[in-house]
Structure 1
Amino acid sequence: MSKYTFNLPDIGEGIAEAEIVKWHIKIGDVVAEDDQLADVMTDKATVEMEAPVSGTIVALAGEEGDIVAIGSMLVEIEVEGEVDADKLEDLEASDVGASVSEEPEPVARNVDQDIDKKEINSSPTPPSDKIEADEAAEAADSPAPKNDGQKVLATPAVRKRAADLGVDLGQVKAQGEHIRHSDLDAYLNYGSGQGYRPAGSVQKRDDEVIKVIGMRRRIAQNMAESKRNIPHFSYVDEIDMTELEDMRADLNANRGDRPKLTMLPLMIVAICKSLPEFPMLNATYDDEAGVVTRHGAVHLGMATQTGQGLMVPVLRDAQDMNVWQLASEIARLANAAREGTATAKELTGSTLTLTSLGPLGGIATTPVINRPEVAIIGPNKIVERPMIIDGEIHARKLMNLSISCDHRVVDGYDAASYVQALKHLLETPVLLFAD
């Protein structure tokens, strides 16, 4: 028997560490070669780690959410006999970073044993209010006392409250000589009185502690960095989308076997057509170098809600696509993000981001910039409202368009001017298809 230490390999992204997002094994499990061990996250990509040898798991590097340095132990596997030397050389040559050792290294932690110790040693004395609550619960579990004609002792305030709640005080057990509000509370919370609640009240739920790990932690870090480092300002304007909505309906009615168009592909065409006159918006800012890069191509990030949280797949060279190609690529990237199959390249390199909540869009948004970009555009919900045109009231489909910009790079006048140019294209949709 020998122990095989599988170190976290260099995944080839120039990273120094990775986060353990999910363990697929635990100490004591028997694994075969190529079985899945863990999912680790680097930047916005999740990588699956597989067992290089067969054996029994004897140690893990940590818990889900822990950070592991490249080259340090991820798991330790007990194997039958000695590990094949030729196999070890092949693994080392392929940057797997594994090593064989007779004893586990000190950094290894037996997670199951740690948990057992915590459960055995953690027996604090419960606070007095916890004891009272437990006693009230135990008292409520027993049959409620019956009022055998004896007078119930309670203050007028308690009686009025019980009457308002529809509670028979004869069913409430007093902890002292007379019924108090705390006795009534115990009956309502723990006894058969759970059905007696004021109109509109909701049953209290226990607190839930959730560890912030994986994609949720990455989002939290990115958003905090963006708000901490970028002086945001937002600008909102109203756009008449009536003509564009009519054009979209006509295009969908004659689309044949092409994908159905949402508003986003048409909006992206308008964004790409209006950007050349405002290059400072299709840019990224390197804080450390003090350099702004104005990009010639539009690599548009599409903020997408997934089960893991917000992800931003990238429409590369969006300026070269027509509305049908954009519709297909939007659907493909959104599905890849939600299914967790998007590649690192598909999740990085955006130069401008578009974020839309669709029918939940609300009146206006102030989106957070996707650093190191300098702007983010947020279309809001389209609502039919009255609008005065030439002195007459007309029903029009109106939408507020939001933009947030980095004030270090973009001036308010530039942002407003860009939105006006974008508004002109959206309100005159025939221009979207003109050269």
Structure 2
Amino acid sequence: MAKYTFPMPDIGEGITEAEIVNWYKKVGDRIEEDEEFVDMMTDKATMPLESPVTGTILEVAGEVGDMVAIGAPLIVVEVEGEVPDEAETADEDEAPAPKAPEVEKRIEVETPDASDQVDAAKAAPEPAPTPAPDPAVSSSKVLATPAVRKRAKELGIDLAQVKPHEDGRIRHADLDSFISYSGGYSGSAPARADEQIKVIGLRKRIAENMAAAKRNIPHFTYVEECDVTELENTRTQLNANKGDKPKLTMLPLLISAICKTLPDFPMINARFDDEAKVVTRHGSVHLGMATMTDNGLMVPVIRDAQAKNLWQLANEIGRLAEAARSGSAKSEELSGSTLTVTSLGPLGGVATTPVINRPEVAIIGPNRIVERPMFVTGPDGVERVEKRKLMNISISCDHRVVDGYDAAAFVQEVKKKIEAPATILAG
């Protein structure tokens, strides 16, 4: 028997260490050649690593959440037979770090800086329980993660009784709502005990970036009310004649209005290097789109948003949101944004104060659309009361780079375009 030491591979891109986010194997387990044994997260991606040998695991580098330097031992395996020529044994003093095997970059971890941001397509009304179970539907047919199924089993809850999100999947929040609306579920299982959850992986990155943004950036937020009645009418007309094009939400129209306004306000579409004290004003709009996923908040990026029409924007919004949620988004699709838009959709509230996606200098948050009576002057010059659709737009800016007047002027120009939809469609 020989011992084989598998070091943390050099994955390039200047990465010096990676975080252990999930062990598939433990000391004493048998491992097969090409079998995945750990997920490692860098500042760029989460990737699984595979064993080049078959044997029994003797040592592992640490626990979930620990950092491992490039080249440091990750696992030691007692190999059955001879160690492959390219493998290094544990008895050798120096083991050069091999290049990483061909692996799929599953989850990009450049994260936004506000836990209160979710994608409009993901948000849904607060779920309520189904009053009575459908005997034809069993828990096994319900869409839910293993963790949710385990918790439901512990609580004695039939998942068929729980109303899922609009995407059909049941999450922990849906279980909580079921219990709350049931006035305290009286299943056979005992009350759920307190639990401690270690903050690791993407959640750890979000926490670090949020703290860094609030610590380093002097935020200010400006909110303006916009009349989106005509914009909604325009959207309805476009959707009625869309053919095989994707259905338009409010977001493509808002993004188009933003992109048409930014050339006159270059300091909004910028990134600030704190250390070098250099602001880079970008000509192209690489728009970050805050998206809530099962793994945490992510920001897929619409490249050159200013060059896309409404239908192209709608396609990209749908494609990137799905890629982020499924974990299939590529590294370049989840980094390099110059400005971020975040929306809570139907949960948007009256106003939000989003936290900037550092090193950007601004973030824009449309809020919920509401209907209210308003005084409107008609073409005949007569003032009358009409029911109008209104939406607040919030913008948070880095006060080191963006002055309050500039932020207000920018939003006022976006408002003009929103309230006159022809200006969005022109050009």
Q: Which TM-score applies when normalising by structure 1?
A: 0.73
Alignment partner for residue 232 of structure 2, among 237, 240, 245? 245
| Secondary structure in structure 2 of the residue aligned to 1:326 | helix
Aligned to 1:432: 424
Question: Which structure 2 residues correspond to residues 236-315 of structure 1 after superposition, within 5 A?
Answer: 236-315=223-302
Q: Is the 8 A contact 2:234 2:421 kept in 1?
A: yes
| DSSP-derived class of the 1:271 partner | helix
Distance in 1 (alpha carbons) for counterparts of 2:392 and 2:34:
52
Could you tell me how far apart the structure 2 residues matched to 1:359 and 1:345 are?
30
Q: Report the Cα offset of residue 255 of structure 1.
A: 0.7
User: Does structure 1 residue 13 correspond to structure 2 residue 13?
Assistant: yes
Aligned to 1:233: 220
- Is the 2:286–2:303 Cα contact (8 Å) retained in structure 1? yes
Is it true that 1:82 corresponds to 2:43 in the alignment? no
Listed as ranges, the matches of 1:297-336 within 5 Å are 297-336=284-323
Other structure's SS at 1:222 match: helix
Whole-Å separation in 2 of the counterparts to 1:376 and 1:351 = 10
Which amino acid in the other structure matches residue 416 of structure 1? Answer: A
- Indicate yes or no: 2:73 matched with 1:73: yes
Distance change >3 Å, CA 372–CA 232, structure 1 → 2: same
Percent of aligned pairs with the same amino acid: 66
Instruction: Please state how far the C-alpha of 1:274 moved relative to its aligned partner.
Output: 0.3
- Is it true that 1:100 corresponds to 2:89 in the alignment? yes
Counterpart in the other structure of 2:120: none
Q: Which of 344, 349, 352 is equivalent to 1:357?
A: 344
Task: Write the distance in 2 (CA, Å) between the matches of 1:11 and 1:255.
Answer: 45
Please name the residue that 1:396 is paired with: 388
Quote the Cα distance in structure 1 between the aligned partners of 2:319 and 2:78: 43
Task: Return the letter of the residue paired with 1:100.
Answer: T
Deviation at 1:82, TM superposition (A): 2.3
The one of the two structures with greater contact order (alpha-carbon pairs below 8 A, sep at least 6) is: 2
Check whether the contact 1:380–1:399 (CA below 8 A) recurs between aligned residues: yes
Deviation of 1:340 (Å): 1.0
Q: CA deviation at 1:102?
A: 4.1
Provide the rounded CA distance (Å) in 1 between the counterparts of 2:184 and 2:245.
51
Shift of 1:230: 0.1
Asked if the contact 2:76/2:90 (under 8 Å) is kept, the reply is no
Contact 1:360 1:381 in 2 (8 A): yes
1:409 aligns with one of 381, 397, 401: 401
Q: Is the 8 A contact 1:2 1:102 kept in 2?
A: no
1:369 aligned to 2:388?
no
Q: Which residue of 2 aligns with 1:27?
A: 27
Structure 2: how far apart are the matches of 1:36 and 1:84?
Answer: 18
1:65-86 CA-partner distances (Å, limit 9, x unpaired) = 111111111111111222122x
Contact 1:3 1:104 in 2 (8 A): no
Q: Which residue of 2 aligns with 1:51?
A: 51
CA contact (8 A) 1:381 1:400 kept: yes
d(CA) in 2 for partners of 1:284, 1:322: 25
Count of residue pairs the alignment pairs up: 331
Unaligned runs of 5+ in 2: 95-182, 378-382
Conserved 8 A contact 2:226-2:393: yes
Structure 1 contact 299–315 (Cα < 8 Å) conserved = yes
Task: Tell me which amino acid in the other structure corresponds to 2:220.
Answer: F
Residues 44 and 378 of structure 1, relative CA distance in 2, 3 Å threshold = farther
Query: 1:182-197 counterparts in 2 under 5 A?
Result: none
- Range with bigger deviation, 383-392 or 397-406: 383-392
Structure 1: segments with no counterpart, 5+ residues? 89-98, 106-199
Per-residue Cα deviation, 1:206-228 (whole angstroms, up to 9, x for no partner): 32211100100000000000000
Give 4+ residue runs of structure 1 displaced > 3 Å after superposition: 102-105, 200-206
Residues 302 and 316 in structure 2, CA contact (< 8 A), matched pair in contact too: yes
Give the match for residue 176 of structure 1.
Answer: none
Structure 1 position 424, deviation (Å):
0.5
How many Å separate the matches in 1 of 2:45 and 2:375? 50
TM-score (ref. length: structure 2): 0.75
* Structure 2 counterpart of 1:48, one-letter code: P
Q: Aligned equivalents of 2:34 and 2:318: distance in 1?
A: 32
User: Are the aligned partners of 1:19 and 1:65 in contact in 2 as well (CA < 8 Å)?
Assistant: yes
Q: Deviations over 1:259-315 (max 9, x none)?
A: 111111111111100000000000000000010000010000000001111100111
Give deviations 1:79-131, integer Å, cap 9, x for gaps: 1222122x33xxxxxxxxxx3124999xxxxxxxxxxxxxxxxxxxxxxxxxx
